Amino acid sequence: MSAKASNDNLTQNLLQRAAPSRAEFEDLVIVPIFAVIVALAVGALVMLATAVDLPTIGRSYIALLQGSVGSLNALSETLTAAAPLVLAGLGLALGFRAGLFNIGAEGQIVIGGLAAVIVGFSFAGLPWFVHLPLALIAGALAGALYASIAGWLRAATGAHEVISTIMLNLISYRILDYVLRQPFIQREGRADPISRSVLDSAELPQLLAWIDPNLRVHAGILVVIAAVVVVHWILFRTKIGFEFRASGKNLDAARYAGMRASFTIVAAMASAGALAGLAGANQVLGVLDRASPGFSAGIGFDAISVALLGRSHPVGVLFAGLLFGALKTGGRQMQVDAGVSVDLIGIIQALIIVFIAAPLLVRAIFPWGFRKPQTEPNE
Amino acid sequence: MDVELRGITKRFGPIVANAEIDLDIRAGEVLGLLGENGAGKSTLMNVLCGLYTPDEGNIIIDGKPVTFDGPGAAIAAGIGMVHQHFMLVPVFTVAENAILGIEPTKQVDYLDLAAARQQVNEIGDRYGLQVDPDARIEDLPVGTQQRVEIIKVLVRSADVLILDEPTAVLTPQEVEEFFGIVRSLRDAGKAIVFITHKLDEILEISDRITVLRGGRVTGYGDPKTLTEQRLAEMMVGRPVRFDVDKAPYNPGDLLLEVRDLTVLRANDEIAADHVSLEVRSGEIVGIAGVQGNGQSALIEAITGLHRPVDGTIIFDGQDITNVSVRARHAMGMAHIPEDRQRTGIIGDFTVAENMALNSYYDERYAKGMSIVWPAVATHAADYVADFDVRTPSVHAKASQLSGGNQQKLVVARELSRDTKLLIAAQPTRGLDVGSVEYIHGRVVAARDEGDGVLIMSSELDEILALSDRILVMFKGRIVAEFDASKQPVDRNAVGLAMAGSAPRAAA
Ligand SMILES: Nc1ncnc2c1ncn2[C@@H]1O[C@H](COP(=O)(O)OP(=O)(O)OP(=O)(O)O)[C@@H](O)[C@H]1O
Ligand SMILES: [Mg+2]
């Protein structure tokens, strides 16, 4: 064989991908599944400890299942609850990939939602295909701008984003209170702070109203799917995504490679804010119809768990968001059917996170689920 | 304490890093372990110190088979390792680092630092390893940090010491001191395994030599009778040339001009003090100097990573003093950074991603907003084959390459771009002799094609072999210049200038 041919052969071999290893599969699939199972089991123990009898525990888990996926209505509720979690979670995941620990999704949801409401009740007479996108874009833009304040502070002064985004969350609540009392925003004839209603032309239409008008699932779910695809593309296919990931993994090497650290920080924060703002817009245009104090309902904080559980991967975030949406809707059913407090759902969510974050613990509990192929050093 | 390794096999998925290796380590002896980049030296030693569990084979200590389920067990059995990349806590003192994990305590978990200090001093006196126990690691030169790593192992009363490329970061003087320490340890009855790519060192210090290639033992040697030539051949399987062929010196236009450049360190000390230098196209300029005399700061300023406080940098006729790193890249500057792990590669990225790390936006790889990954992969495969980077696939993670192959990855990336000026800091740190030969060949080829090259190395031999002109830096200033284009430069004269003796006129 000539030297050239053997060289071609070598490069062909080099281009081959190793089959996804068993370890990766365990990490991405088995650990999360087991984590959920252990969390449910510990949840049952907690109920036992609070003097709930065994039949009630059984009934409450059945209710959890039925309430989340047991009927068309349950599915519709699960999707409705999951949509904003996934959107905000995608934003946070993007930030995590870039090495930014953004706690500010909550505030960005507030500001984004507010902007979307204002656009949504103004501009009467616009056709829906102009008005709705306009309202969504307003939400994304406002969220992006609000988040870039923290990005800019970090890039220009080194102020850590964890602190500044927490502050911005608190500030956003006060902005909301203030704006909701402004005469052209507050609903006529109301003394409490509540905004006018979004016009029909800016509403995210219900998708299954033709089956039953009570099915709340709305077109926001399409926005979610588009967002998953776009974020995946940005992170893994574009130049800016490469810069995000490089800065997140090794800031020094990224700097040596000529990537602009401050630009990356601001861009990543802005993209994260845009997605959180979209989550806010999704809520006001699809579910709530108006803005009122506290309309963000802690979604921005749950989204942190969603992003972590989804391993900051767009597809992972989608599944994690669906799981958390299901727990939320199922939890309501659980309370109704079995009289168990919804706080239990909070406990279960927290336990899932704990077990996901401690894969070694899960491995220790379920040794038979895992092989021990070694590419990582012993502890 | 004697240790025998019998039939050790270690696989990483399809890769066999060690195949049925037998190795004898004896008390009161220095065993030199030699082998190409990726031959499996670090892996084998990681098996011995409990970091990896072997797939097959036994570790036998004084006749009894043992198994280690972690480094703790190996340490308890008396085996300690100083790793290729240091593992110290920079903000802790020497004493605090030495006792990390085995802290002596009094009542109520009160940390007994006095006892720790005393231990450090005792060990220092016994083996000639004096270090101030209260000095903070980040304030110490690399050579001293190395001592702390050794003290750390000795505090755990190890009888077997594994030293993985300990001299790669040391200056020649530090190497001499280091050998003194190794000898006193050996004479105290410790067993020592010493890994290096420097053949003169291994011949000087070891009592026996074992050579690995492709994960297997391929030869044994007696340092008293072997030559460097023969050793190199045993290692890479073919004769290796140590000298470099260069076309006659024929410098072209001025390419890089640095005038009165002053650079500060983070603590506002002066790192480079009114440095001026020139690089023409078609010439190699070498910067010699003991580490810590401002060379790194100078290079970071030229490559745009560090803003100078004073002075100008002119590249290819343009003032680039305040131009971004990216713009300098685009103008044709290539940079091999000094510290591959911290600044050269991203361990969690694939080999292909690392190959595109600073050129993902150019026309080879990008189309509009997106990166064309198949193009990245095919280019990467070509460069990997060219530079003989040992990896199973370009989709493997860079962190899974051996130390030397990570270095080759960085060099391949920088030399495969179309550039005008190559700035190389320690370009062959941790490379085996065969790879050094190849890289030197590529650097000289770039020069012969008309590129300018600025090389900084603590390896005086490398500077002498490659450079057309040699500058010596001492305490932030250029204190001497030697013309190496016609006849070889006197090694001692350069050495003296490096040590700060009165500057001499060019030879
Ligand atoms: N964690 C890992 N996962 C997969 N492959 C690995 C891993 N660690 C090492 N390898 C592979 O095992 C082989 C031996 O690597 P090792 O680090 O032992 O080489 P080495 O002899 O120390 O080389 P160098 O002189 O360059 O440091 C290499 O091919 C390397 O790619
Ligand atoms: Mg090694």
- Report pLDDT for B505: 47
Give the whole-number percent of chain A exceeding pLDDT 70.
94
Q: What is the largest CA-CA distance in chain A?
A: 89
| pLDDT for the residue B507 | 42
Q: Which residues of B touch A16 (CB under 8 A)?
A: 393, 395
Which of A14, A24, A374, A375, when mutated, tests ligand 1's pocket best, judged by the most ligand atoms within 8 Å of its CB? A375
Size of interface A-B (CB pairs under 8 A): 115
Q: CB-based contact (8 Å) between A229 and chain B?
A: no
Q: Chain A, 19-58: which have a CB under 8 Å from a chain B CB?
A: 21
Per-residue model confidence (pLDDT) at position B178: 86
- Which atom of ligand 1 has the smallest separation from the CA of B41? 21
Whether B393 sits inside 8 A of A13 (CB atoms) is yes
Confidence of residue A6 (pLDDT cuts 50, 70, 90): low
Closest ligand to residue B33's CA:
1
Q: Is the minimum distance from the CB of B296 to ligand 1 under 6 angstroms? A: no
Closest CB to A257: pick one of B14, B46, B357: B357
**DSSP code string of A241-261:** HHHHHHHHH-HHHHHHTT--H
In short, whether B457's Cβ falls inside 6 Å of ligand 1 is no
Give the ipTM of the model, two decimals please. 0.86
Query: In this structure, how many other beta carbons lie within 10 angstroms of the beta carbon of residue A167?
Result: 17
Q: What is the mean pLDDT of residues A80-98?
A: 96
Per the CB < 8 A criterion, the answer to whether A275 and A143 are in contact is: yes
Strands B216-221, B208-213: pairing kind = antiparallel
In tens, the pLDDT along A106-126 reads 999 999 999 999 999 999 889
Please give the distance, rounded to the nearest whole angstrom, from the Cα atom of residue B112 to the centre of ligand 1: 39
Q: Output the DSSP codes for A143-201.
A: HHHHHHHHHHHHHHH---HHHHHHHHHHHHHHHHHHHHTSTTTBPTT--SS-BPPPPGG
Residue with the larger pLDDT of the pair B467 and B169: B467
Picking from B168, B229, B236, the residue whose alpha carbon sits closest to that of residue B197 is: B168
**pLDDT value of residue B407:** 92
Model pLDDT, residue A372: 55
Q: Which residues does chain B have within 8 Å of residue A97's beta carbon, measured at their own beta carbons?
A: none
Mean model confidence pLDDT for chain B: 89
Report the chain B residue with the minimal C-alpha distance to residue A252. Answer: B343
Whose tokens are 């002498």? That residue is: B464
C-alpha dist (Å) from residue B27 to A209, B2, B66, B290, B302: 83, 6, 18, 34, 49
Residue type, B355: M
Q: Into which CATH architecture does domain B252-332+420-507 fall?
A: 3-Layer(aba) Sandwich (3.40)
Rounded (5°) CA angle A289-A294-A297: 85
Same CATH fold assignment for domains B3-236 and B252-332+420-507: yes
Give the class (CATH, top level) of B3-236: alpha beta
- Residues 6+ positions from B22 with CB-CB distance below 8 Å: B4, B5, B6, B7, B8, B217
Q: Count CA atoms within 13 Å of residue A271 on its CB side.
A: 24
pTM over 0.80: yes
- Residue B121's contacts (CB-CB under 8 Å, 6 or more residues apart) are B133
Question: Which of the two residues, A257 and A358, has the higher pLDDT score?
Answer: A257
Residue B387 · residue B411 · CB < 8 Å: yes
Rounded to whole angstroms, the Cα distance separating B299 from B23 reads 43
Q: What percent of chain A shows pLDDT beyond 90?
A: 57
Q: What is the rounded CA–CA span in Å between residue B40 and residue B58?
A: 17
Ligand 1 neighbourhood includes B408 CB (under 6 angstroms): no
pLDDT higher than threshold 50 for residue B506:
no
Helix (H, G, I), strand (E, B) or coil at A89: helix
The closest alpha carbon to B193, from B207, B203, B180, belongs to: B207
Tens-digit pLDDT profile for residues A222-240: 999 999 999 999 999 999 9
SS3 B479: strand
Answer whether A15 sits within 8 Å of B377, measured CB to CB. Answer: yes
Q: Which residues contact A19 (CB under 8 A, 6 or more apart)?
A: none
Q: What angle do helix axes A220-237 and A261-283 make, rounded to 10 degrees? A: 170
Q: Three-state DSSP class for B208? A: strand
Atom 25 of ligand 1 has which residue's CA nearest to it?
B37
pLDDT tens track for A253-310: 999 999 998 999 999 999 999 999 999 999 999 999 999 999 998 999 999 999 988 8
Check pLDDT > 90 for residue A179.
yes
Instruction: Name, in order, each residue with C-beta under 8 angstroms of B200's C-beta and a sequence gap of 6 or more.
Output: B228
**Gyration radius from chain A CA atoms:** 23
Cα separations in angstroms, A347 against A44, A214, A232, A351, A353: 11, 30, 31, 6, 10
B433 and B401 Cβ atoms separated by less than 8 Å: no
Question: Are the Cβ atoms of A14 and B385 closer than 8 angstroms?
Answer: yes
pLDDT tens digit string along B395-410?
A: 999 999 988 999 999 9
Alpha-helix residue ranges (DSSP H) falling in B251-333: 295-302, 325-331
Phi then psi for residue B478, to 5 deg, are -85, 115
- What pLDDT does A339 receive? 81
Ligand nearest to the CA of B164: 2
Dihedral sign computed on CA atoms, order A288, A294, A297, A302:
positive
What number is the average pLDDT over the span A346-370? 78
Task: Decide: helix, strand or coil at residue A77.
Answer: helix
Residue nearest (by alpha carbon) to ligand 1 atom 27? B403
**Using CA atoms, how far apart are residues B60 and B6, in angstroms rounded to an integer?**
8
Residues of A in Cβ contact (< 8 Å) with B348 = 249-250
Is A257 close to B358, i.e. CB distance below 8 A?
Answer: yes
Cα distance between residue A320 and residue A78, in whole Å: 12
B485 exposure class (CB count in 10 Å sphere: 0-12, 13-18, 19+): middle
Q: Quote the CA–CA distance of A369 and A59 in Å, as a whole number.
A: 29
Residue range B143-164, pLDDT digits in tens: 788 888 888 888 888 899 999 9
A21 contacts in B (CB within 8 Å)?
A: 13
Tokens encoding A176: 């909301």
Worst-scoring range by mean pLDDT, A19-23, B78-82, B177-181, B361-365?
A19-23
- What are the CA-CA distances from residue A161 to residues A61, A103, A158, A259, B309 (Å)? 39, 8, 9, 20, 30
For residue A105, the 8-state DSSP code is H
What is the CB-side half-sphere exposure of residue B399 using CA atoms within 13 A?
A: 11
Query: Touching check for A17 and chain B: CB below 8 Å?
Result: yes
Interval A113-163: pLDDT, tens: 999 999 999 998 899 999 999 999 999 999 999 999 999 999 999 899 999
What secondary structure does DSSP assign to B113-151, as a single string? HHHHHHHHHHHHHHHT----TTSBGGGS-HHHHHHHHHH
> Binning pLDDT at 50, 70 and 90, where does residue A5 land?
low
- Quick one: average pLDDT of A16-42? 79
The C-alpha torsion from A64 through A69 and A70 to A72, rounded to 10°, is 140
Give the number of whichever ligand sits closest to the CA of residue B212: 1
Per-residue burial over B121-137, b = 16 or more CB atoms within 10 Å of its CB, e = otherwise: bebbeebebebbbeeeb
Name the residue with tokens 């999707």: A79
What residues does each domain of chain B span?
3-236, 252-332+420-507, 347-417
Smallest CA-to-CA distance from B474 within B444, B449, B503, B441 is with B503
Identify which has the larger pLDDT, B250 or A241.
Answer: A241
- pLDDT surpasses 90 at B172: no
Percent of chain B residues past pLDDT 70, beyond the cut: 99
Mean pLDDT of B183-203: 92
Give the pLDDT of residue A1.
43
Q: Which of A25, A371, A378 to mutate to probe the B interface, most B CBs <10 Å?
A: A378
What does the domain layout of chain A look like in residue ranges?
85-329
Residue of the nearest CA to atom 6 in ligand 1?
A: B400
d(CA B476, CA B310): 14
Q: What is the mean pLDDT of residues A10-30?
A: 76
More confident residue, A353 or B122: B122
Query: Which are the contacts of B238, defined by CB distance < 8 A and separation ≥ 6?
Result: B434
pLDDT tens for residues A190-199?
Answer: 888 889 999 9
Strand order in the sheet with B477-483: B333-336, B421-425, B452-456, B284-288, B469-474, B477-483
